[in-house]
A and B are shown apart, each in its own frame.
Chain A
Amino acid sequence: MTGTFNLALDTQPAAGAASAAWLLLVLPALGAAVLLIGGRRTNKWGHLLGSGMVIAAFAYAVVLFFDTTSLAAEDRLRDLHLFDWISVNQLSVDFGLRLDPLSITFVLLITGVGSLIHIYSIGYLNHELEDRRRFFAYLNLFIAAMLLLVLGNSFVTLYFGWEGVGLASYLLIGWYQGKDFAATAAKKAFLMNRVGDVGLALAIFLMFKTMGSTQYDVVFSQIGDQSTGTIVAIGLLLLLGACGKSGQFPLQAWLPDAMAGPTPVSALIHAATMVTAGVYLIARSSPLYSLPQAEDARLVVMIIGAITLLLGCVIGCAYDDFKKVLAYSTVSQIGYMILAVGLGPAGYAFGILHLLTHGFFKAGLFLGAGSVMHAMNDEGDIRRMGGLWKKMPVTFVTWTLGYLALIGFPFLSGYFSKDEIINAALGQGGTRGWVFGGIALLGAALTAFYMTRLLILVWLGKPRWENLTSPATPDPESPEAPVGKPYHPHESPSTMTIPMIILAFGSVAGGAILSAVLPEWLTPAIGEVEETHGALSHTMVGILTVVLAAIGAGLAFLLFGRRETAVERPKRVSFPVRAARADLFGNHLNEALFARPGTWLTRALVYVDNRGVDGLVNGIAAGLGGSSGRLRRTQTGFVRSYALSMLGGSILVIAALLMVRFA
């Protein structure tokens, strides 16, 4: 399965197209370079250049896709060797690209969704013309790094892209630098990502130590000969890397905060592409995780995925910020993907399938959110919205299609992918199957609940914004947002709506098409899908999923759809409790069964998330900064105290040397 063949020797005409795959990296990188170096001169046409480069890359990716499909299935794994990058002693790292169904799938997703979001950004940033080209430069930089991540043919090349996307994401989260929270969010993203990066780096060093290479073909052909300890260690370290990048438990807290960045960034980087790099990493390492020795590592992957998917759902119920709810939804959906790829051969393909469909509908949902906020003076508080469907019909329709796809409405894209994951989870059999399948089912219901809440509060009901003005304090999304200005929602320009419409098509039809062809297409890269037979038949799972989602959605309608929503967030009693009381008065049973435990759970999790994880991260940051500030004072400027520290250091060193020798 892992055989490669050298494109340089391939005389088929098809090779002509594939041997230019470096174009995929060069085009966006060139765009970024021109925009960054050109400076202000490129203001006029910078956004067009930026978008053009990504669209060109997409066009090439399509050519590459058809070039690959024209080959026989066993010839679809191809390595494009570019140059020897590091070679010294026994250490050798090639710089090459791997062109196989898995990477091409990702390339299509990245360049496709990337193109749409570039186009959307032209309209979205029309308030900030001065800085727009810089924004496009960073976006191009991100695309180049992300393509490098998925196209590299070794773990080191992957690490390149991995660092590159982290950097681009850091720069883009901090786009609105004037604001403290943007700086904090960028800092937090950076720190948590570094934790993951350290894991990935250690995995790479471990591979070098045990196998002497990190080329995929070498590693995957030798990994089976390693000791169980090594395999599990590499598996867990890779998982740590995946957790950092993909916002998985316990490193999930940076992702919602990253919403401080501009909305197109949230859609592209923090929903569709970069945050799924962890899923890619695990799917790419499928030959490792599929080994019987890696059973324990895979179990941990599943547990992490399950915890995260539940965590994201529950916390998603609690927030009033449009983008934050979507961000927690992303956390939870990536949890599904991680769970799927943790299932092993039974789930890799479905994890990728969900990743693709999610890429479509979540990007669409974010772009819709951005469109709404763009129209609402950059307001993100959903309590100040409502009834917007009349004002913004196109956005409403496209958003609702994305919403239906996400909650798994039958025969829309999310239905196919989620259903397959739940089925595969149940197919594990025994207690394990029930636990993971049950969590996945519960997650489906909760997803429907919080998304329906969002639908109702934003689009349906009475317009609550009519008598309001923008709050006096500037809004997260933009420091330049008008303060105290009345809302005049309006439909967005066509550069914004057209990408949303295209993504909506993808959300509707993507699942049906992809679920039919994807598993077979990916087989050369990640192996055949293993049939599983759980306690429930596949049809039963499908029906159950839909029923649970319907219950979740219905519950949300009962709670939020039939009454006024207060504009101000209730101070003392939390929102679901108050809603339940107002709406279902006297129905203590209902309240005791659903509202109260739900409230407590939500509250507890939000608390842990804010205080625990955030506290830890901020605590580390503050601790480092504080100790730095204190230690700084030891640099007193007095020669004599420097001499003292030198003398002290020498005495310590000598004493230690003698102690080691004689003790």
Chain B
Amino acid sequence: MSVMSSVLFLAQVQPVPSPAPAKIDPPALDAVWPILIVLAAACVGVLFEAFLPRHQRWPAQVALSLLALAGAGVALATYLSDAPEAGEMAMFNTLAVDRPALFLWGTLLALSVGAVLLIADRSVEPGGAFVATAAIRPGTVQDRAQVTATGMQTEVFPLTLFALGGMMIFCAANDLLTMFIALEVLSLPLYLMCGLARRRRLLSQEAAVKYFLLGAFASAFFLYGVALLYGYAGSVRLADISAAAAGTDRSDTLLFAGMGLLVVGLLFKASVGPFHTWTPDVYQGAPTPVTAFMAACTKVAAFGGILRVLQVAFESTQWEWRGVLWGVAIASMVIGAILGLTQTDVKRMIAYSSVAHAGFLLIGAIALTDRGLSGTLFYLLTYGFTTLAAFGVISLVRDSSGEATHLSQWAGLAKRSPLVAGVFTFLLLALAGIPLTSGFVGKFVVFEAAIDDGMAPLVVIALVASAVAAFFYLRVIVLMYFSEPAADGPTVTVPGAFTTAAITLGVLVTLLLGILPSFALDWAAGGAFAIR
């Protein structure tokens, strides 16, 4: 490899004096047990795939995944009970385990429980939403046989856990290299999971290719940003970058070009417009449980990273970059709200809604205050659960060829299944930010923080955008309640325990956080990022 040789070349020309070997103490693991448990379970899951007979894998994997999530949750709760208020550094200063990180971990674990339940479900689609053997070519005889086969590619469980582990590292990463590795650890499993749908495999594979190519493209941007910032600050530690930016004798070109590239990579993962282009295609093509996992958890992790980078590394230069991110937030809200208006596929519609929501979240993220931080964290929590449950509901409406996601097929759904229509209506109202749902409280705290930080014009635009976006949610509600159902319309599958549990979880949290948000807001406001 050319890079390798250039490394050697440089090393030969002038060997860098190597520092005296320092004594390395074994790291304290108290703070990172949740991550270790998740990643260890993922590895065990891989072993299960290798050694267990096929028919035992599904129960073993489901049990393992849920146990791992529960174990990680317990570890998190145990640590939380006597965690230092200001946060601590773990794993040789690569992870900052502070209050926001812990909040995000908790959110991610809770959301993953819902996502794993959706992924594990075998009642809605016999055998599960995932392909029996991914290697079978779509359109062949074997492929038609696998549609009705009962097995599924159970590798999806360890993949989910790996992705989750990556996300948890991502939002706690204290330096950009760790962040980059975590970014890849969370992305690579997701690329694969997108391509594993049992039905409509062409769409699914296409989604995987698109997500992969664009994701790799975006990581390259991210990485180049890391390199430039390293050149600027001589370190990739966030605190060092912040300290370097506070000084004045360095090249600001490197700083701002690096920051721009870095932020673009992050915005891509968070599907903020105009870096959102993959979102609708991938959300539509991916198996719905995976879409739910991506929409909820990736958004949380990506915004966790954005918050940390902006608040820790670039706080001192905020007057330079703030205006630019204003523009990005506006673009995202406008794109999401306007393009959502004419969507005819319900999964795509939710995808555009997620683009608009990303814009709202970005408003909170660029309000570099305690309120901005806690508001954004809370918003992530509410949005994650609402969107998780929404995709859960979407997976229930089916016809003979699989999920019926075209909006015209949803007409008159309330007549067929008042309960499902009612639940979906509630979730849409939450996405629209109607009071007494968590969506309202989330928007409220974020916009309030933004006004407080002097961003009133942005909030005006956000209010207008959310008004426009509310229109397409209401369109679906009207369609479900007031239109006559088509004669050959889809049926609503009665979900099994897993999907029911996941949807119930999402709906209950959405309702609870709408009526009694205080406890979650208190957690979110528990403390700021640790800067070391």
* A-to-B contact residues, CB < 8 Å: 36-37, 39, 83-89, 91, 134, 156, 159-160, 163-164, 167, 170-171, 174-175, 177-178, 183, 186-187, 190-191, 194-195, 197-198, 201-202, 205-206, 208-209, 624-625, 627-629, 631-632, 635, 637, 639, 641-643, 645-646, 648-650, 653-654, 656-658, 660-662
- A36, A649, A656, A661: the one within 8 Å of B252 (CB): A661
Flag whether B299 is at the interface (Cβ < 8 A).
Answer: no
Which B residues lie within 8 Å of A177 (CB)? 478, 482-483
Flag whether B33 is at the interface (Cβ < 8 A).
Answer: no
Closest to B221 in A: A650
Within the complex, what minimum Cβ distance (angstroms) separates B421 from chain A?
10
How long is the Cα–Cα vector from A159 to B463 in the complex, in angstroms? 14
Which B residues lie within 8 Å of A187 (CB)? 471
Residues 216-259 of B, flagged 1 when their CB comes within 8 A of A and 0 if not, give: 01100100000000000000000000000000000011001101
Q: A85-B516, A190-B474, A646-B221 are in contact. List 11 more A-B contacts (CB 8 A).
A: A86-B441, A163-B434, A177-B482, A201-B447, A628-B339, A631-B338, A635-B339, A646-B264, A646-B274, A650-B261, A654-B257
How long is the Cα–Cα vector from A36 to B423 in the complex, in angstroms? 11
15 contacts between A and B (CB under 8 A): A86-B444, A87-B518, A88-B445, A91-B448, A134-B481, A194-B467, A194-B470, A205-B448, A205-B459, A628-B342, A632-B343, A639-B209, A646-B268, A654-B257, A654-B264
Closest to A209 in B: B451
Flag whether B67 is at the interface (Cβ < 8 A).
Answer: no
Establish whether residues A88 and B435, one from each chain, have CB atoms under 8 Å apart when the complex forms. no
How long is the Cα–Cα vector from A171 to B474 in the complex, in angstroms? 9
Establish whether residues A89 and B482, one from each chain, have CB atoms under 8 Å apart when the complex forms. no
How long is the Cα–Cα vector from A174 to B475 in the complex, in angstroms? 11
How long is the Cα–Cα vector from A178 to B412 in the complex, in angstroms? 12
* 55-90 of chain B: CB within 8 A of chain A: none
Within the complex, what minimum Cβ distance (angstroms) separates B528 from chain A?
12
Flag whether B496 is at the interface (Cβ < 8 A).
Answer: no
Binds A, one of B118-126, B154-162, B276-284: B276-284
Which A residues lie within 8 Å of B343 (CB)? 632
Closest to B335 in A: A631
Establish whether residues A86 and B260, one from each chain, have CB atoms under 8 Å apart when the complex forms. no
Within the complex, what minimum Cβ distance (angstroms) separates A197 from chain B?
7
Which A residues lie within 8 Å of B328 (CB)? 653
How long is the Cα–Cα vector from A195 to B522 in the complex, in angstroms? 33
Given A167-B434, A205-B459, A91-B474 contact (CB < 8 Å): no
Within the complex, what minimum Cβ distance (angstroms) separates A389 from chain B?
37
Binds A, one of B318-326, B396-404, B500-508: B318-326
Which A residues lie within 8 Å of B221 (CB)? 646, 650
Flag whether B407 is at the interface (Cβ < 8 A).
Answer: no
Closest 3 pairs (CB-CB, A-B)? A177-B482, A654-B260, A88-B521
Within the complex, what minimum Cβ distance (angstroms) separates B393 from chain A?
16
Which A residues lie within 8 Å of B522 (CB)? 87-88
How long is the Cα–Cα vector from A631 to B339 in the complex, in angstroms? 7
Establish whether residues B521 and A656, one from each chain, have CB atoms under 8 Å apart when the complex forms. no
How long is the Cα–Cα vector from A177 to B477 in the complex, in angstroms? 12
How long is the Cα–Cα vector from A648 to B277 in the complex, in angstroms? 12
Closest to B328 in A: A653
Which A residues lie within 8 Å of B315 (CB)? none
- B274, B459, B467, B478: the one within 8 Å of A197 (CB): B467
Within the complex, what minimum Cβ distance (angstroms) separates B211 from chain A?
10
* 501-532 of chain B: CB within 8 A of chain A: 515-518, 521-522, 524-525
Establish whether residues A649 and B275, one from each chain, have CB atoms under 8 Å apart when the complex forms. yes
Most central of A170, A183, A643 by chain B CB within 10 Å: A643
Establish whether residues A86 and B517, one from each chain, have CB atoms under 8 Å apart when the complex forms. yes
Which B residues lie within 8 Å of A175 (CB)? 482
Establish whether residues A632 and B518, one from each chain, have CB atoms under 8 Å apart when the complex forms. no
- A84, A197, A646: the one within 8 Å of B217 (CB): A646
How long is the Cα–Cα vector from A94 to B459 in the complex, in angstroms? 23
Establish whether residues A653 and B263, one from each chain, have CB atoms under 8 Å apart when the complex forms. yes
Closest to A643 in B: B217
How long is the Cα–Cα vector from A198 to B419 in the complex, in angstroms? 32
Interface of A, secondary structure class, is helix
Establish whether residues A625 and B214, one from each chain, have CB atoms under 8 Å apart when the complex forms. no
Establish whether residues A642 and B214, one from each chain, have CB atoms under 8 Å apart when the complex forms. yes
Given A83-B516, A194-B470, A624-B451 contact (CB < 8 Å): no
- B209, B281, B418, B463: the one within 8 Å of A202 (CB): B463
- A202, A642, A662: the one within 8 Å of B278 (CB): A642
How long is the Cα–Cα vector from A637 to B371 in the complex, in angstroms? 39
Given A88-B524, A645-B277, A650-B260 contact (CB < 8 Å): yes
Within the complex, what minimum Cβ distance (angstroms) separates B467 from chain A?
4
Within the complex, what minimum Cβ distance (angstroms) separates A567 from chain B?
33
Establish whether residues B256 and A661, one from each chain, have CB atoms under 8 Å apart when the complex forms. yes
Closest to B522 in A: A88
Flag whether B29 is at the interface (Cβ < 8 A).
Answer: no
- B256, B327, B441: the one within 8 Å of A658 (CB): B256
Closest to B209 in A: A639
How long is the Cα–Cα vector from A36 to B440 in the complex, in angstroms? 22
Establish whether residues B257 and A88, one from each chain, have CB atoms under 8 Å apart when the complex forms. no
Establish whether residues B277 and A642, one from each chain, have CB atoms under 8 Å apart when the complex forms. yes
Which A residues lie within 8 Å of B200 (CB)? none
Which B residues lie within 8 Å of A653 (CB)? 260, 263-264, 324, 328
Given A37-B422, A177-B482, A649-B339 contact (CB < 8 Å): no
Given A84-B518, A650-B261, A91-B445 contact (CB < 8 Å): yes
Flag whether B213 is at the interface (Cβ < 8 A).
Answer: yes
Establish whether residues B436 and A198, one from each chain, have CB atoms under 8 Å apart when the complex forms. no
Within the complex, what minimum Cβ distance (angstroms) separates B124 from chain A?
22
Which A residues lie within 8 Å of B456 (CB)? 202, 205
Establish whether residues A628 and B338, one from each chain, have CB atoms under 8 Å apart when the complex forms. yes
Which B residues lie within 8 Å of A87 (CB)? 518, 521-522
Given A653-B263, A657-B260, A86-B451 contact (CB < 8 Å): no
Closest to B472 in A: A628
How long is the Cα–Cα vector from A637 to B447 in the complex, in angstroms? 34
How long is the Cα–Cα vector from A170 to B478 in the complex, in angstroms? 10
Establish whether residues A206 and B467, one from each chain, have CB atoms under 8 Å apart when the complex forms. no
Within the complex, what minimum Cβ distance (angstroms) separates A388 from chain B?
32
Closest to B451 in A: A205
- A205, A208, A628: the one within 8 Å of B341 (CB): A628
Flag whether B370 is at the interface (Cβ < 8 A).
Answer: yes
Which A residues lie within 8 Å of B341 (CB)? 624-625, 628
Within the complex, what minimum Cβ distance (angstroms) separates A229 from chain B?
13
Within the complex, what minimum Cβ distance (angstroms) separates B306 from chain A?
13
Flag whether B452 is at the interface (Cβ < 8 A).
Answer: yes
Within the complex, what minimum Cβ distance (angstroms) separates B426 from chain A?
10
Given A624-B338, A656-B327, A661-B252, A643-B213 contact (CB < 8 Å): yes
How long is the Cα–Cα vector from A624 to B481 in the complex, in angstroms? 24
How long is the Cα–Cα vector from A84 to B441 in the complex, in angstroms? 13
Closest to B265 in A: A650
Closest to B258 in A: A654
Establish whether residues A198 and B463, one from each chain, have CB atoms under 8 Å apart when the complex forms. yes
How long is the Cα–Cα vector from A201 to B339 in the complex, in angstroms? 24
Which B residues lie within 8 Å of A205 (CB)? 447-448, 451, 456, 459
Establish whether residues A86 and B518, one from each chain, have CB atoms under 8 Å apart when the complex forms. yes
Flag whether B464 is at the interface (Cβ < 8 A).
Answer: yes
Establish whether residues B435 and A163, one from each chain, have CB atoms under 8 Å apart when the complex forms. yes
Which B residues lie within 8 Å of A194 (CB)? 467, 470
Which B residues lie within 8 Å of A658 (CB)? 253, 256-257, 260
Which A residues lie within 8 Å of B516 (CB)? 83, 85
Flag whether B374 is at the interface (Cβ < 8 A).
Answer: yes
Most central of B252, B321, B435 by chain A CB within 10 Å: B435
How long is the Cα–Cα vector from A76 to B338 in the complex, in angstroms? 49
Flag whether B460 is at the interface (Cβ < 8 A).
Answer: yes
- B253, B321, B452: the one within 8 Å of A660 (CB): B321
Given A85-B518, A205-B447, A646-B275, A654-B261 contact (CB < 8 Å): yes
Closest to B272 in A: A649
Establish whether residues B321 and A208, one from each chain, have CB atoms under 8 Å apart when the complex forms. no
Within the complex, what minimum Cβ distance (angstroms) separates A582 from chain B?
45
